[in-house]
Amino acid sequence: MKDFVLVFDIGSSKLRAMVAGKGVNDTFITKGYVEADYEGFYEGRFLNPEKLAQVFKQALSDLDFDNSKNKKVYIGVPAEFSSVIATSASMNFGDRRKIKQSDIEVMFYSASEKAKGEGVEILSVNPISFTIDDARLSYSPIGEMASSLSAKLSIIYVGREFISLFNSIIAGFGFESVEYMSEPLCEALFVISKEEREDLNLFIDVGDLTTSVSIVKGEGLAHLSSFSIGGAFITNSLSEAFDLTLSEADRLKKMVVLSLKGKSTDFYELTTDLGKVIKIPLNQANEVVGYIIDTIGSAISKCLQLFSSDYIPFLPVYLSGGGVTKIKGGRDYLAKCLGRNISYGVPRLPGKDKPTLASIYSLVSSALKS
């Protein structure tokens, strides 16, 4: 088990855990995978933190994980518990010489020392871009000849309350160390190629109760926002609109096809929890779903405006998570709301290319590199 990592993905309504190692051709060997429903979090707070330890205990039991051989665990930090600042740093070497890895590390350390704040821990320092001798842009400066080096850096923070909560949980299971990783950053670096990240990219993860919006460039996040709206809001709205139970509303949500424009006589035929078949007007159901996706799209646009008041043309957009991608026509509807083309953000793994798997496999990838 020493060549395998244990990773936890803290979703807004599901906790997922995976034990995996490196396979051939950049694939993974999965030893175990579990997911469990739990109360989740909303607006940056866990709804029932007292039960989290029990959820972890059950996940470890289901995985049959032996931590006597592997004393470390990796935990993804959701966007709602994170924040990002963009800063800059520079070094003057005097004489021209090759840039070394140690130079980069010193620059990152200096930036992190200046960026320390109350109530937060620095999760990572990542380069957005480098400039050699105040003139030449670079994304991989190590080995280049230079007399000076400057960098645009992304510093990701996590709240100390989050760290304290999960440190106490993990310590109770006999692990010796825990490493925290930014889930939005891991997803972006895993899904978007290095070449594509030389320009700005927009990465959106719509979950059950939360949505994260990341502006990605280089190896870092130039901006990170989140808001507490996701796929569960669609389920709740369908439930209220048609007087359905949540399980009935969830089944209806899976039936909806947003690209359909029906007549007044067109219906979705839904089987209730009691086995009765009822008819739900097609256009009305689509309007309910579309309204929530419109709301999500408007919030994403506001997040973009926080990054830049100027419209950014040709901005590649990636969408992951299950909040919108599981709805037939959901991605295309959101694309119309944003006025941009949207690609699915999926793992580049055979048979695993689903938007819902982007977060867990990206965390595994980062943990294995770590």
pLDDT, block means (10 residues), the chain with 370 residues: 85 93 87 92 90 92 78 94 93 90 91 87 94 90 92 95 94 90 96 94 96 96 95 97 96 95 90 95 96 97 91 93 96 96 93 93 93
Residue 119 confidence (pLDDT): 87
The DSSP string of 63-91 is HT--TTS--EEEEEEPGGGEEEEEEEEEE
Please give the C-alpha separations between residue 278 and each of 19, 126, 252, 269, in angstroms, as whole numbers: 43, 54, 11, 6
Q: Which residue has the tokens 């999760």?
A: 123
Q: Is the pTM higher than 0.75?
A: yes
Residue 78 confidence (pLDDT): 96
Residue 68 confidence (pLDDT): 67
